[in-house]
Chain A
Amino acid sequence: MIAIIDYGMGNLGSVEKALTFIGYDSVITDDPKLVMEADGVILPGVGAIGAAMEALKSKNLDKVVHDYIATGKPFLGICLGMQMLFDSSEESFGGSPVQGLSVLPGKVVRFPSDMGLKVPQIGWNALSSKNPILPDGEYVYFVHSYYCVPAREEDIAATVDYGIEYCCSVRRDNVLACQFHPEKSGEAGLAILQRWARMTRK
């Protein structure tokens, strides 16, 4: 069973539907017990990181995420669920920068405004990857205005070019996270989800 963490924001249904489609059972939950017992956990998310962190903390799920990751079982962060893993984001919330979960060292910054880039980046972009879970050159779907800057080079699993070359996926031990939406990246994305989900059956 895969637990999709529900902290009251965003559409979690597409992740669940994608898992069902590739043959994996999942539950959308905010119950710490179900999360801890799961064979795999997904932290999804869209929207503002400040509100998301508040929601997570209000349900004590920030601690649950740490506890779950410490078990060594597979963990996947998607989009905002990747950004929240880092120390901080410069996306403001009530006038101050947002503190993240500090699962991984690093920060989250906004796309530069002086390069004529459309922000948010919306659409399909090609991965540069050496990680077998994320095929090099495959197009995946992005929707975001902020991106992650990991402090440790070795945590970077894949990068992508949007005027600047930036990290769009991290992998460290049992933690995998991606800025793009595998659940919205067609068959290429489903295959990525499948490769991750397979680890939950080991």
Chain B
Amino acid sequence: MLSKRIIPCLDVKNGRVVKGTNFIALRDAGDPVECAKAYNEAGADELVFLDISATVEGRGTVVDMVKRVAEQVFIPFTVGGGIRSLEDIREILNAGADKISLNSSAVKEPDLVRRASEKFGSQCVVVAIDVRERTGGKIRIASTDTSFSGIDETASEADNDKFPSGYEVVVAGGTKPTGLDAVAWAKQVEALGAGEILLTSLDRDGTKSGFDNVITRAVADAVSIPVIASGGAGKMEDFYDGIVDGGADAVLAASLFHFGEIKIGDLKTYLAGKGIAVRTMTPALQLWQSLKKDAQGLVPVVVVEDGTKEVLMVAYMDYEALAATMDTKIMHYHSRSRNELWKKGETSGHYQHVKKAFLDCDRDTLLFYCDQEGAACHTGNHSCFFTEIEL
């Protein structure tokens, strides 16, 4: 079953993450690569980078950031903010982003959505739609000091029939109403070829009062492409409500995750407990993700006999070997000479039964205590370390 996606959003300014990831200690919390890696290990299903650089120079750093992230992190990521042309899109996709997101440039030039999806495929075109609820014929807009308290005095009750959904699309961080109805615009961008909609309620953004599930549901029901709910999540229930009441296919949050107020792993456990399909990782995969691998992608393993505490051997594991070992409690390795999974004892009968295991402080070596059947060494010696060196 397709799982619901949990997506952290990272704001990037001049190539640096602002409000960096604080949920674990990073050497450099402003480094997009480090943040992306940390979220990958934490179980994020996808990442969104939103470039909020105000200058051309600042924007120029985005391509380099995308390249560096793409070399190290192998989950999908979207880049948005300041993308205005097919050339901008090409540059970011070629650098390694999986998707780009268009917001005000789509409102200004809807045909860009069509051209982008025809050129690069719908799958990489996300349209970000920021909305505000209209009340009493008026729309609350953010004043330029972003106090989110302004009222658009030019809007009037007479305009209400232009907004059957009751929500208006806004741009420029909520400072400019567009005259577009939220649901009508969502349907329009779908028809133009958008592959996904990232729907943000600017009324709720930052309030921690929950997603606006009314408009999320209205948009999700109106289009057949996936909808990502954003803006307002403050507690785990909010994510559940966004998925169930809002009908969202994915849920997005920023500072809630960055500051560790909610951990992605805990959120997934919570959602799974309430019957929502989420991507879970096996304990072996979780452990493997957190290990430092050598240049061959392997991790060395020290094997000690449980009873005698004698060091028996050193071998290497890949993910497959680790998973098989944790699964069967019989030691499996990756044979570097045969380049394959090696169940120790398969031919000799000299199996190693796992008793307990430890992790090195640098997370780059594993230690297993085992009961050894017969000899550990292929020479017939009990331990591989039978040749003493004269010192």
Within 8 A of A (CB), among B108-146: 120-124
Given A118-B249, A122-B123: A21 and B288 interface contact (C-beta under 8 Å): no
**A120 with B3: CB separation less than 8 A:** no
Binds A, one of B299-307, B315-323, B366-374: B315-323
**B122 with A120: CB separation less than 8 A:** yes
CB-CB < 8 A to B288: which residues of A? 187, 191
Minimum C-beta distance from A119 to chain B (A): 6
In the bound complex, CA of A63 to CA of B4 (Å):
41
CB-CB < 8 A to A125: which residues of B? 1-3
- A174-202 near B? 1/0 per residue, CB < 8 Å: 00000001011111111100110010011
- Check: B96 CB closer than 8 A to any chain A CB: yes
Minimum C-beta distance from A50 to chain B (A): 12
In the bound complex, CA of A141 to CA of B71 (Å):
18
Interface residues on B, range: 35 or more
Point out the residue from A46, A47, A141, A191 that lies within 8 Å of B318, measured CB to CB. Answer: A191
- Check: B76 CB closer than 8 A to any chain A CB: yes
Given A17-B96, A141-B75: A119 and B224 interface contact (C-beta under 8 Å): yes
Interface residues on A, range: 35 or more
In the bound complex, CA of A120 to CA of B194 (Å):
11
In the bound complex, CA of A135 to CA of B341 (Å):
14
B-side interface mostly: loop
**B71 with A21: CB separation less than 8 A:** yes
- Check: A11 CB closer than 8 A to any chain B CB: yes
- Check: B28 CB closer than 8 A to any chain A CB: no
- A54-84 near B? 1/0 per residue, CB < 8 Å: 0000000000000000000000000000000
Given A118-B224, A161-B1, A186-B289: A23 and B295 interface contact (C-beta under 8 Å): yes
In the bound complex, CA of A188 to CA of B76 (Å):
13
In the bound complex, CA of A144 to CA of B122 (Å):
10
Minimum C-beta distance from B317 to chain A (A): 12
Within 8 A of B (CB), among A4-35: 10-11, 13-14, 17-18, 20-23
Residue among A18, A47, A125, A137 facing the most chain B CB atoms (10 A cut-off): A47
- Check: B195 CB closer than 8 A to any chain A CB: yes
Q: Give chain B's interface residues, CB within 8 Å of chain A.
A: 1-5, 40, 45, 70-72, 74-76, 93-96, 98, 120-124, 195-196, 224-226, 249-250, 279-282, 285, 288-289, 295-297, 318-320, 323, 339-340
Please name 20 pairs of A and B residues whose Cβ atoms are closer than 8 Å in the assembled complex, sorted by A.
A11-B94, A14-B96, A21-B74, A23-B297, A47-B121, A48-B121, A120-B122, A120-B226, A122-B226, A123-B2, A123-B250, A124-B2, A126-B279, A139-B3, A139-B280, A142-B2, A162-B1, A162-B2, A181-B76, A198-B339
